[in-house]
Amino acid sequence: MKPDGTTDKTRRHLLQTLPVLLGLLLTGCQPGSPPSQPAAAQPTARPDNKPSPPACPICGMPVIREESENFFEATIPNQPPVLLCSAVCAVVYTDRHPEVTRLDVFDYQRRTLVPAQTAFHLYESKLEVRAAMPPVTASFAVRSDAETARKAHSGRVLTWEELRRAIRQTNYYKTSP
């Protein structure tokens, strides 16, 4: 055994393996070989062969409409709608994309999408909201629904602009990717 802890057999094996590894690495760099796609552009399939759910463009979390009780859908003209996993990601996205013409949010009570700008958002409550990222919000089309939830689970009922201001003050917003 050598002072560095290796044996002649180990060194011989490494020297025999090195050309193979270099050959594999250089194969993708040969002229005429097709360029590889970036990982994000490659479609992924789940084991049950269903396509993967869309990922939130801000944090990368999957947005599963059927399981989430707090997601947003942003619309920019001439582009497909973008799903956002949380209020924080919705605020970050709309701040970065002022061209958003419509922002809808899942109504916790009625189980449908409603305009986020006219909804009432229960913020900082103890309400159990499936698939919600902190700070947890639940949105309601009708103020009385939001107030009823607030009485049962605490928190504050905010308009969209109030919610944006509150979220911008959080570390979640300040450290978002």
pLDDT in tens, 89-141: 999 999 999 999 999 999 999 999 999 999 999 999 999 999 777 888 999 99
| CA separation for the pair 54, 52 (Å, rounded) | 6
* Structural domain includes residue 37: no
pTM of the model: 0.70
Please give the pLDDT value at position 12.
56
* Structural domain includes residue 8: no
Buried b (16+ CB within 10 A) or exposed e, 162-171: ebbebbeeee
Please give the pLDDT value at position 52.
86
Surface-to-core class of residue 159, CB atoms within 10 Å of its CB (0-12 exposed, 13-18 middle, 19+ buried)? middle
Range of the domain at 55: 51-174
* Structural domain includes residue 164: yes
- Count: domains in the chain: 1
* Structural domain includes residue 39: no
All residue ranges of the chain with pLDDT < 50 are 13-15, 18, 21-22, 24-44
* Structural domain includes residue 27: no
* Structural domain includes residue 7: no
